[in-house]
Amino acid sequence: MDILISEEFDSPAIQKLEAKYKVVRDGGLWKNPAKLKEMIAGARAVIVRNQTQLTSEVLSGAPKLIGIGRMGVGLDNIDMPTATKLGIVVISPLDANSTSVAELCLAFMLGLARKIPAADRSTRGGAWDRKSFVGVELDGKTLGICGFGRIGRKVSLLARAFGMKSVVYDPYVKADSPALLETGAKLMGTVEEVLSAADFVTTHLPQTTQTKRMFNERTFSLMKRGAFFINTARGGVVDECALVAALKSGHLGGAALDVREVEPPTEKTGLEQLDNVILAPHIGAFTAESQARTVAAVSADVDRLLSGEAVVNFVNMSKPARVTAET
């Protein structure tokens, strides 16, 4: 087998790969770890989204594997140290979905500020209750951005068009970064400074041991009373119970989450019952344009990889450092 696809997606780019290589598709394979281990053992490349868990054990049991195509950004479902140690190329087009996620973030901000989902539900129910849906404007507000990579920078640019000013926390961004000048954002020294200054807080941080449940009872308490919280990054950076408590107490004005710690959620946390919460099923990258860019970029690089060429959208190495019977 040349390529194993373990989640549901299709496009003309995938069909081109099928015309050239032996491709096995199993959209539900990510749900069956034992079967995944069995099938990936015979694959030269695997293409995944965010559900397939490519652990050290899985990768170590795939002696022919030379490449992983990740449809989207975020590499927390891939054991990167093991992949790199084994010489496996990891492909991820990091720019492909920045616009889509950033625009969803702005949509969430507008939805929270103007109470759009609650107003929609009320009006559909036959009410005409204007007084209950007095909102706030984005103009003149401060946006706190935690994580100032490609998506965070795009959010800052979009927010600037709404008359917002941005304050930023990112330990990897320097004070002289051109991105700060481009967006007009102000770099803060700590996340606490950002939280206390912001009317809206959005996180674009990766999920790591350092960021695990970074937004918790303590950090939510540092936010302004009535502030709004948005997460389109990774669910694991948020303590959902603490978020529910902050919302129920009235300390936070609302929250919007596109991502959850467990996807799909297996238990209700109380977020589902709150009118000032917007929930979405991890759709940040799900626009027609973003999906087309992502699938095309990953497919082209998988083709390059299997043809012995250097890949373009690599995150660890451009060519496999692994010698297998297939290469």
Where are the domains positioned within the chain?
Answer: 3-96+288-306, 98-279
Are 3-96+288-306 and 98-279 the same fold in CATH? yes
Per-residue model confidence as pLDDT tens for the chain (327 residues)? 899 999 988 788 999 999 999 999 988 999 999 999 999 999 999 999 888 999 999 999 999 999 999 987 778 899 999 999 999 999 999 888 899 999 999 999 999 999 999 999 999 999 999 999 999 999 999 999 999 999 999 999 999 999 999 999 999 999 999 999 999 999 999 999 999 999 999 999 988 889 999 999 999 999 999 999 999 999 999 999 999 999 999 999 999 999 999 888 988 889 999 999 999 999 998 999 998 899 999 999 999 999 999 999 999 999 998 766 544
CB 178 within 8 A of CB 169: no
Give the whole-angstrom CA distance, residue 323 versus residue 327.
Answer: 6
Instruction: Give tens-digit pLDDT for 161-190.
Output: 999 999 999 999 999 999 999 999 999 999
- Going by DSSP bridges, is the β-strand pair 277-279/252-257 parallel, antiparallel, or unpaired? parallel
Query: Residue 167 contacts by C-beta under 8 Å, 6 or more apart in sequence?
Result: 142, 143, 144, 145, 185, 186, 187, 188, 193, 194, 197, 198
Whether domain 3-96+288-306 has CATH 3.40.50.720: the reply is yes
Which homologous superfamily is 98-279 in?
Answer: NAD(P)-binding Rossmann-like Domain (3.40.50.720)
87 C-beta neighbours (distance < 10 Å), count:
16
Does residue 113 sit in helix, strand or coil? helix
Report CA-CA distances (Å) from 104 to 96, 97, 284, 298, 302: 14, 11, 6, 23, 29
Query: pTM for this structure?
Result: 0.84
Give the whole-angstrom CA distance, residue 283 versus residue 290.
Answer: 11
Per-residue pLDDT at 323: 62
Give φ, ψ of 294 to 5 degrees: -65, -50
Give the whole-angstrom CA distance, residue 161 versus residue 63.
Answer: 51
Active site positions, annotated: 234, 263, 282
Does residue 119 sit in helix, strand or coil? helix
Give the whole-angstrom CA distance, residue 205 versus residue 182.
Answer: 20
